[in-house]
Amino acid sequence: MKLTLKVWRQKNSDDKGKIETYNVDNISEHMSFLEMMDVLNEQLIAEGKEPVAFDHDCREGICGMCSMFINGEPHGPGKGITTCQLHMRSFNDGDTIYIEPFRSRGFPVIKDLIVDRSAFDRIQQAGGYISINTSGNTIDANATPIPKDDADKAFDAATCIGCGACVATCKNSSAMLFISAKVSQLALLPQGKVEAKERVLAMVEQMDKEGFGNCSNTGACEVECPKGISLENIARLNREFLDASITSDK
């Protein structure tokens, strides 16, 4: 395959940045999108130019590090995949592909396609945990049976990889799918119920501080989420938040 790539280049966070055009040849349909980017970078290095900086690590769709906006979609075309799982068979010979970083006020660009997602860490630090020490002196793991349905729902929410596609695709730059995943996981489990109210209030407060918008139910996040995190979690987040706002002592 021959492709034309329109890639966002930005030297650092102070640079204005612009789209550059590159051509690549001999791209196999079995390559992953990132392997295609490797080919481009090898080509740039051979020409003595600076390669395109992009985040990536596990290359199997679980670490959440890769983060490109490809032809107007986070992680590109295809459902339920990250950029590293996108294969070139999704494109045609002669295509022009636009590659940009995730865009949001909460995710400033560091370089080229790399953005700063530390806002997500700070939201988790605000309350995305159960306050127990790791002494091992807890009760036996089977002492508290958990209905399978609750455990399965908690698991489904917990599969969020924190990539930020939900924010990147949302017209409001809302991080509510991300937050609702953690709030739901812990609210569905008896272990997490103890602090559920404080948790939801603290996480939402931090979300607002980071400059993320609110949810207006367009549902783009659910469509683009590589892990298929359900919009139901946002509904649960809203219920938890409302309940906590009215009944919490804080």
Kindly tell me which residue out of 118, 214, 245, 248 binds another protein, with binding defined by CB under 8 A: 118
Query: How far is 214 from 170, CA to CA, in rounded Å?
Result: 10
**Is 94 a binder of another protein (CB under 8 A)?**
no
Phi, psi of 192 (to 5 degrees): -90, -15
Of the two residues 88 and 244, which places its CB atom closer to another protein in the complex? Answer: 88
Which of the ranges 16-24, 55-63, 169-177, 212-220 carries the binding residues for another protein, by CB under 8 A?
A: 55-63
Instruction: Pick from 1, 17, 95, 158 the residue near another protein by CB under 8 A.
Output: 158
Q: How far is the CB of 76 from another protein (least distance, A)?
A: 12
Among 213, 121, 122, smallest CA distance to 169 is for 213
Q: What is the CA radius of gyration of the chain?
A: 20
The least distance separating another protein from the CB of residue 231, rounded to whole angstroms, comes to: 20
Residues 24-53 that bind another protein (CB under 8 A): 28, 30-32, 34-35, 38-39, 42, 44-46, 48-51, 53
Site of tokens 């690590």: 57
**What's the DSSP call for residue 71?**
T
CA distance 126 to 113: 28
Residue 20 sits in the site that holds another protein (CB under 8 A): no
